[in-house]
């Protein structure tokens, strides 16, 4: 797999893209809180606006990706995100970076991130054999782990120590590097069937993707577990981003360091994901890792005292969450890709993304409301407890019964998945 130059280019581009994305996820909220003095409700709205494209655009993007070359789609998304973050820097330099401008640019970056994420998930299936999906996903998720280590710390340090234009421009730089790497992919990716269809028939393709996921017991369970996690995680993170600087009095640099702690854990999780499912079974790994990672955040709300006391605990929580979360991410993505026919990869990914991440705007708004009404400490405890819904859903679903072998698409021999007739 690593001998394939095109896979290496995809991996390098994905690493740069994820580094820019994780830096931006810290830069934009911290700009709102520290520079524009945003409150809980405003921060909830900002995060919801950035996440809204997942709900609004995922299904359309999935149908589009199944009709176009993934390389072209990813390159255009990277270029667009670099330009959007450059616009943040320009707006700050000319004194026009208020909440309306930040909301508009955050929505743009979020929309293009949806395009890139759906396209790269479909591109892996077109680059590697199905029996290499776990290894391929492990490598790509490992790059995301590296980005989780460097991205938040870089974003927090830039906002805290340098100017807002430099902070925004850093994200634009990484998206530009991803653009340069991915555009060098040389494999002649044939145009997917259906590109010549009229736009009006896109609706039929979207319905096909929805119907395929709804009818499949495994993929339907992935949707429900993802929705439970993403809603609760979005609510928790909205409170968490306020709790760290205002209750625990952490600087922007320390906030970035705490958020970056998920990276080393995720790096370990991506390495373990290449071995544990084949040894203990995919279902056991999914449920156990989700319970461990999501439950770790219950330790945050009771924290109090100086950074010398709270920061080590926060780093440990982030490490556990990163490790468990990455095990889930790699394993569940491999299950989803293995269970889906090639011609449905984009639409299946988009449908599951829409069902899961589509609830994040509502989760962010809910988190902001809870923090405003109940206080940051109580709000953090409640939203952290809600994250345990995801492992509960998986434990009660066919996902928990998956064994050591990956499932196969419906109609293919050797399927290892418990499917409904």
Read off the pLDDT of residues 210-237 as tens digits, 9 standing for 90 and up. 888 888 888 889 889 988 998 999 899 8
Lowest mean pLDDT among 97-106, 143-152, 402-411: 143-152
Q: Which residues of 124-146 are buried (b: 16+ CB within 10 A; e: fewer)?
A: bbbbbebebbbbbbbbbbbbbbb
Helix (H, G, I), strand (E, B) or coil at 239: helix
Can you give the pLDDT at residue 421? 35
Q: Which residues contact 305 (CB under 8 A, 6 or more apart)?
A: none
Can you give the pLDDT at residue 135? 66
Q: Which residues contact 226 (CB under 8 A, 6 or more apart)?
A: 332, 352, 355, 356, 357, 390
Token pair for 366: 């809910």
Summarised one tens digit per residue, pLDDT across range 177-219 is: 889 888 887 766 655 554 454 444 777 777 888 888 888 888 8
Residue 272 exposure: Cα atoms within 13 Å on the Cβ side: 22
Token pair for 281: 């079974």
pTM surpassing 0.95? no
| Residue 333: closest CA among 131, 137, 119, 58 | 137
Q: Dihedral sign for Cα 32, 34, 35, 36, please.
A: positive
- Residue bearing tokens 């205002």: 246
Q: Dihedral sign for Cα 224, 227, 233, 239, please.
A: negative
Contact 178, 98 (CB under 8 A): no
DSSP letter for 130, please: G
C-alpha to C-alpha distance for 149 and 257, rounded to whole angstroms: 8
Q: Which residues contact 34 (CB under 8 A, 6 or more apart)?
A: 159, 160, 245, 252
Helix (H, G, I), strand (E, B) or coil at 403: coil
C-alpha to C-alpha distance for 248 and 17, rounded to whole angstroms: 31
Contact 235, 40 (CB under 8 A): no
Can you give the pLDDT at residue 231? 92
Q: What CA–CA distances, in Å, run from 410 to 65, 155, 183, 350?
A: 22, 44, 34, 19
| Residue 82: closest CA among 171, 14, 189, 149 | 171
Lowest mean pLDDT among 62-76, 127-141, 311-325: 127-141
Token pair for 158: 């830039």
Token pair for 46: 């900002």
DSSP letter for 32, please: I
Q: Dihedral sign for Cα 24, 335, 69, 350, please.
A: negative
Greater model confidence, 81 or 165: 81
Helix (H, G, I), strand (E, B) or coil at 253: helix
Q: Which residues contact 358 (CB under 8 A, 6 or more apart)?
A: 54, 55, 58, 227, 230
Contact 387, 321 (CB under 8 A): no
User: Is the pLDDT reported for residue 17 higher than 70?
Assistant: yes
Can you give the pLDDT at residue 194? 47
Confidence of residue 336 (pLDDT cuts 50, 70, 90): confident
Q: What percentage of the chain reaches a pLDDT higher than 70?
A: 81
Rg (alpha carbons) of the chain, rounded to whole number = 20
Chain mean position to CA 232:
14
């Amino acid at each position: 797999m690593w001998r394939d130059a095109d896979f290496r280019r995809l991996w390098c581009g994905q690493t740069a893209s994820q580094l820019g994305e994780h830096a931006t996820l810290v830069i934009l909220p911290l700009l709102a809180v520290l520079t524009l003095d945003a409150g809980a409700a405003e921060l909830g709205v900002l995060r919801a606006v950035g996440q809204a494209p997942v709900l609004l655009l995922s299904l359309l993007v999935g149908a589009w990706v199944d009709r176009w070359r993934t390389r072209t789609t990813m390159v255009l998304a990277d270029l667009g995100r670099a330009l959007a973050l450059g616009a943040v820097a320009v707006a700050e330099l000319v004194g026009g970076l208020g909440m309306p401008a930040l909301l508009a640019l955050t929505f743009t970056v979020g929309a293009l991130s949806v395009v890139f994420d759906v396209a790269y998930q479909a591109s892996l299936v077109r680059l590697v054999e199905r029996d290499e999906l776990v290894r391929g996903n492990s490598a790509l998720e490992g790059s995301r782990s590296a980005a989780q280590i460097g991205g938040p710390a870089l974003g927090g340090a830039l906002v805290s120590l340098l100017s807002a234009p430099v902070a925004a421009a850093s994200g634009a730089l990484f998206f530009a590097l991803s653009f340069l790497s991915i555009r060098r992919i040389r494999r002649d990716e044939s145009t997917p069937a259906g590109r010549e269809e009229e736009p009006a028939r896109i609706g039929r393709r979207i319905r096909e993707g929805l119907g395929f996921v709804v009818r499949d017991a495994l993929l339907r369970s992935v949707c429900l577990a993802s929705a439970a996690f993403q809603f609760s995680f979005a609510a928790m993170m909205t409170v968490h981003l306020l709790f760290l600087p205002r209750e625990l009095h952490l600087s922007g640099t320390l906030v970035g360091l705490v958020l970056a702690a998920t990276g080393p854990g995720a790096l370990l999780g991506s390495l373990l994901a290449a071995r544990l499912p084949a040894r203990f079974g995919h279902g056991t790994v999914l449920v156990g890792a989700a319970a461990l990672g999501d439950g770790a955040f219950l330790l945050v709300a009771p924290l109090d005292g100086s950074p010398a006391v709270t920061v080590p605990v926060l780093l440990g929580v982030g490490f556990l969450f990163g490790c468990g979360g990455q095990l889930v991410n790699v394993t569940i993505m491999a299950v989803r890709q293995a269970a889906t026919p090639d011609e449905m990869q984009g639409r299946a990914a988009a449908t599951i993304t829409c069902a899961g991440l589509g609830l994040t705007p509502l989760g962010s708004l809910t988190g902001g409301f809870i923090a405003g009404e109940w206080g940051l400490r109580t709000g953090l405890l409640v939203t952290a407890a809600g994250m345990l819904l995801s492992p509960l859903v998986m434990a009660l679903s066919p996902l928990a019964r998956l064994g050591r072998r990956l499932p196969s698409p419906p109609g293919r021999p050797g399927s290892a998945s418990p499917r409904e007739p």
